[in-house]
Amino acid sequence: MEKQPDDLGKTDVTPTYENLYSDRSRTMKASEIRELLKLTQRPEIISFAGGLPNPDAFPVEPIKEIVQDLLKSDSKRILQYGSTQGVPELREEISKRLKNRWNMDGDPDNVLITVGSQQGLELLGRLFLDPTSTIVMEAPTYLGALNAFAVYEPRVSSIPLDDHGLDVDKLEEYLVNLQKHSVNLKFIYVVPTFHNPAGVCMAESRRHKLMDLSHEYDFLIVEDDPYGELRYTGEPLPTLKSLDKEDRVIYLGTFSKTLVPGFRIAWSFGPKPIINKMEIAKQAMDLCTPPFTQHIAKEYLRRGYIDEHLKTIISIYGNKQRIMLKAMDEYMPKEHIRWTKPEGGMFLWATLSDGMDSTEMFTDAIAENVAYVTGKSFFADDAGQNCMRINFTHPGDEKIVEGVKRLAPVIEKWGDKVRKMKDDTGSEVIQGV
Amino acid sequence: MEKQPDDLGKTDVTPTYENLYSDRSRTMKASEIRELLKLTQRPEIISFAGGLPNPDAFPVEPIKEIVQDLLKSDSKRILQYGSTQGVPELREEISKRLKNRWNMDGDPDNVLITVGSQQGLELLGRLFLDPTSTIVMEAPTYLGALNAFAVYEPRVSSIPLDDHGLDVDKLEEYLVNLQKHSVNLKFIYVVPTFHNPAGVCMAESRRHKLMDLSHEYDFLIVEDDPYGELRYTGEPLPTLKSLDKEDRVIYLGTFSKTLVPGFRIAWSFGPKPIINKMEIAKQAMDLCTPPFTQHIAKEYLRRGYIDEHLKTIISIYGNKQRIMLKAMDEYMPKEHIRWTKPEGGMFLWATLSDGMDSTEMFTDAIAENVAYVTGKSFFADDAGQNCMRINFTHPGDEKIVEGVKRLAPVIEKWGDKVRKMKDDTGSEVIQGV
C-alpha cells in the first residue's frame, strides 16, 4: 500500500535534540562513579562504596510518633506550600542548636532550608560563579561539590590535604601568587571536620590560620559540615563559622546523617545578605523545600530526640570504625597501601603505592564481590588514581571484616604486579609506605 | 584605651559581598509579587491572590494510613537516599496512569521525579537555554516559568491568548518571520488546560495546529499541566503529549493539586534522551527528590485513592467556581471589568478597562481587606497592567462572596476615575467591554 500524502514525513520524525541543547548541557555526561555504583548494588557485593547512613540506625519510632502527632494537630499547614526560606520554627530550632552546641551566632534569618546540602552548593554556584571565577577546593574534595560548581564553569584550584587537613601554608603560597596576578578569589570550599573522602580533620591552628587568610586576601569560606556531629574519639574542634568574626563563612549543615537522608532536609547558615539572595534563587528553582519533612525535622529537634539518637549512631558507627581499622590493620598488605585513621565521619581514605590504579583494580574487586569508590572521582584534575574511598557506616559488622578480607588480596596482587613491572624496567624501586 | 595592633582592621570587617556575586545574580531581586503576597497574609484579608489548594480538601486520613503502613513495612528504604530519577515504582504508577487516563504512551524511563514542577522548568532551562536562545511563551503566562527561564537569559517572545487559548495563527505568523531571520526556536512553553493565570483551555483544533507547527518549524513543546484533572464542567480535551507522534513534547505533571503541595512531588514525562539529561543535571542540583514523600505518592496511586479524592476536590472546587462566577456577575461593575469563565482549574483572569492599573488599585483593595495578583506579573514585558488574577479555590465559600463585594466598589471607583480623566482630556471615550 502506498503512503498517503498526509503521512509523508509526518510520523517518526523525532527531532534531533542535540541541536537544541544549551552549550553547558552538551558536554553533560553521567559520571563514571554513578556507573560504577550501579555495579555495587548486586546483593552479593559487600560495598564500601556508598556514602549511606546505616538504615538500622534510623529513628523509626520517633518519626512514627511525630508524623502521627503532626497529621492530627497541624495537617493543614504541614501539607500546604511553605515559604521559600523554610519553616520559621525549624529555622529557629536550627539557629538555637548551632548557638548552644557549636557556639555559632545567628538567628532564624541566617538560615535557609534546602533540599539536601547539595542544593546549598548549587545555590552558591549560581550566586557567585561566572565562567571566569576562581575558587579553591581541597584535593581530594567532595565529588558532589565538584559537580555542583562545574555547571558554572569556574577555574578550580586544588590545595592538598594531609592528615591534619588542608595544607594552609600551600594555600598561602597560592594566595600570594594569585594576588600577584590580581586575581580575585571568590571562595574556598572545605570539609574541615571528618572530610569526605579523606576522613581527616583540619587542625585547630590551621582553622585559625585559614580565617586569618580569608581576612587578609578577602575571600569567603564555604564550610560543608555533614559529619561534625559524628565524632567517635578525640576532642571536638571549633567550626570555622564559630571563629568567623567578619561574616565570611557560609556553613552547610544537614539532617541526612543525624536524622534520615530520605527527608532531604539541610540548611545553609550564613550572612543575611547572602542567605537572602540564595532564597531568591531557590524560589525560581523549586519554590520551597517540602514543608512536610521540614515539620518532622523541627519536632525532632524540639522534642530533644536528636541528642539521644546521636548517642545511638555514634555508638554504632564508632564500633564499625574500630572494626574497620582493626581489619585493615590485620589483613591489608601494608607495603602497598596506607590509610587515614579518622576520629569520626563515615570514610577512610586509602593511598596505594605509586603506579597502582584503583580504577584498573576495580573489575577485580567486583569479581571478588567487594566495592569501593575510585580515588580520581574526588579530584578536579586527573589526580588520585592510586587512591580509594572506603565507607564503614553502611555494611554490617561482619561484612566489614569479610569485605576487607576480600579486598586485601586484590590489592596485594596489583601491588606485586606493579612492583614487578618497576623492578623489570629498573626505573624505580618501590620503598614501601 | 588604645587599640591593640592585633585588633587593627581585624574585627567588623564584613566583606563587600557585592564584588563577589556572579553577573547573573547581581540583578536578582525579590519579585514584586512576593512583596505583595506578604501583605495578603493578614488574617482579616480575604485573599484571591495565592494559588493554593484548599487545605480542607487534603486527604489527611489516607495519608495517615499510608505513612503508618510504610513506616512499618519499608522504613529502611523510604528513609534512605534514593535514585536521582526517582522511586521506580512511583515512575511506573505514573506512566500507567498517564496511559490509562490520558492516552499518553511511555514507560517508567520516560519519567523523572522532581521537587515540584518548578524544578522541571529549572532543568529545562538549564538543558536548552543559552543567553542567545529564543523561546515562545503565552501572554499572559505562568509567573514561575518566567522566573525559572529568566535565569538562563533567553529571548522570550510572547504570543497572546484569547478565550480559546493560544492564538496559533499569530504563532504561525511569528514562526514564518523567525524562519526568515534564520532563528532557531528552542521550545514553546504552554499551559493548555485551565491556564494559569487565564483559566482558559486551548481549543482542540488549536492543539492539533500547534502540533503541526512544531513539526513544520522543528521545535519542542513544554506542556505544563498542573490543573488538567480539575475539570468542573465541559468535556475533557486531549493533552498535547497524547497527540505527540514525534516525541516533541515534555509534559509536566504534579501531585501538588491532586494530593498535597507539601510533599513537593511532581514529574517530567518526555523523550528518554531528554529525561536522561535532566536526570544528570538534577543530580548536581539536589541528588534526589525526597524518597519519603515519593513513596507516599506511590501508595496513593497504587491504592486507587486518587480517583476517589479527585471526586471530592472537583465537587468542592466546582462549587467554589460557581459561587465565584455568580458573585462576579452580581456585584462587579461590568462597564469596567470582564473576566474569563473557566471550566476548571483555580483561576479567573479579569481585564479592566483601558487605562486602569491593577497595581495602583492594589493599595485600595488591601485597605478594603481583599487581595488579588496584579496582571503585569504574568507578562515577559510590561503588559497586563489592567489585568488581575483571581483565585477561587482557597477562600471559604462565604468569603468568596464577601471578597467580591469588597473588591467591586474599588474597581468601580478606579474605573469611574479613569473614565472621568479620559472624558476631561477628551482623548478617548471608553466604550465599555
Is the ipTM beyond the 0.90 threshold? yes
Q: Flag if A15 and B248 touch (Cβ within 8 Å).
A: yes
Q: CA B303: distance to chain centroid?
A: 28
Is residue A78 within 8 A of residue A244, CB to CB? The reply is: no
Q: Is B272 within 8 Å of chain A by CB?
A: no
Q: Flag if A288 and B264 touch (Cβ within 8 Å).
A: yes
Give dist(CA A153, CA B22) in Å, integer. 12
* DSSP-assigned beta bridge partners for residue A374: A388
**Residue B31: closest CA among B366, B379, B407, B367:** B379
Among residues of chain B, what percentage have pLDDT more than 70? 94
Q: How many CB atoms lie within 10 A of CB A365?
A: 25
Give the pLDDT band of residue A36 (cuts 50, 70, 90).
Answer: confident
Mean per-residue pLDDT, A274-299: 97
- Cis preceding linkage at A197, omega within 30: yes
**Testing the interface with B: which of A22, A90, A119 to mutate, by most B Cβ within 10 A?**
A22
Position B10 scores a pLDDT of: 39
Give dist(CA B149, CA B155) in Å, integer. 10
**Testing the interface with A: which of B19, B81, B112 to mutate, by most A Cβ within 10 A?**
B81
Q: Flag if A71 and B82 touch (Cβ within 8 Å).
A: no
Listed by number, the residues of chain A in 29-58 with a beta carbon closer than 8 Å to a beta carbon of chain B are: 29-31, 34, 52-53, 55-56, 58
Give dist(CA A159, CA A174) in Å, integer. 8
Distances (CA, A) of A244 to A272, B287, B374: 14, 29, 43
Give the pLDDT band of residue B430 (cuts 50, 70, 90).
Answer: very low
Residues ≥6 apart with Cβ < 8 Å to A276: B30
Which of B130, B248, B271 has the CB atom closest to A23's CB atom?
B130
Listed by number, the residues of chain B in 150-169 with a beta carbon closer than 8 Å to a beta carbon of chain A are: 150-152
Q: Is B217 within 8 Å of chain A by CB?
A: no
Residues ≥6 apart with Cβ < 8 Å to A210: A166, A168, A171, A188, A190, A202, A221, A240
Measured between CA atoms, the residue of chain B closest to residue A87 is B262
CA distance A362 to chain B (A): 22
All residues of chain B having their beta carbon less than 8 Å from the beta carbon of residue A280 are 28-30
Position A252 scores a pLDDT of: 98
Give dist(CA B284, CA A155) in Å, integer. 18
CA distance B433 to chain A (A): 36
Among residues of chain A, what percentage have pLDDT more than 90? 86
Strands (DSSP E) contained in A347-391 are 347-352, 370-371, 373-374, 387-391
Q: Is B245 within 8 Å of chain A by CB?
A: yes
Is residue B216 within 8 A of residue B168, CB to CB? The reply is: no
Q: Flag if A277 and B25 touch (Cβ within 8 Å).
A: yes
Q: Flag if A260 and B15 touch (Cβ within 8 Å).
A: no
Which of B76, B219, B284 has the CB atom closest to A122's CB atom?
B284
CA distance A387 to chain B (A): 23
Is residue B422 within 8 A of residue B415, CB to CB? The reply is: no
Which of B119, B277, B287 has the CB atom closest to A25's CB atom?
B277
Give dist(CA B187, CA B185) in Å, integer. 6
In what side-by-side order are the strands of the sheet with A165-166?
A111-115, A265-269, A249-254, A220-224, A185-190, A134-139, A155-162, A165-166
Give dist(CA A403, CA A47) in Å, integer. 8
Query: For residue B309, is pLDDT > 70?
Result: yes
**Testing the interface with A: which of B79, B124, B247, B268 to mutate, by most A Cβ within 10 A?**
B79
Q: Flag if B246 and A81 touch (Cβ within 8 Å).
A: no
Give the pLDDT band of residue A15 (cuts 50, 70, 90).
Answer: confident
Measured between CA atoms, the residue of chain B closest to residue A114 is B286
Give dist(CA B159, CA A87) in Å, integer. 38
Which of A28, A115, A293 has the CB atom closest to B281's CB atom?
A28
Each residue of A322-353: pLDDT tens digit?
Answer: 999 999 999 999 999 999 999 999 999 999 99
Where helices occur in A27-167 by DSSP H, the ranges are 32-39, 60-73, 75-78, 88-102, 116-128, 143-150
The conformational region for residue B2 under phi > 0 = left, psi -120 to 50 = alpha, else beta, is beta
**Residue A324: closest CA among A303, A312, A340, A308:** A340
Is residue A186 within 8 A of residue B20, CB to CB? The reply is: yes
Mean per-residue pLDDT, B320-330: 98
Measured between CA atoms, the residue of chain A closest to residue B26 is A127
Q: Which 3 state secondary structure label does DSSP give B263?
A: helix
CA distance A172 to chain B (A): 18
CA distance B406 to chain A (A): 27
Give the pLDDT band of residue A402 (cuts 50, 70, 90).
Answer: very high
Residues ≥6 apart with Cβ < 8 Å to B376: B358, B359, B382, B383, B384, B385, B387
- Cis preceding linkage at A342, omega within 30: no
Q: Residue written as cell 565529588?
A: A143
Mean per-residue pLDDT, A76-83: 95
The secondary structure of residue B241, as a DSSP letter, is: G
Query: For residue A13, is pLDDT > 80?
Result: no
Q: Of all helices (H) and strands (E), which one includes residue A114?
A: strand A111-115
Listed by number, the residues of chain B in 350-369 with a beta carbon closer than 8 Å to a beta carbon of chain A are: none
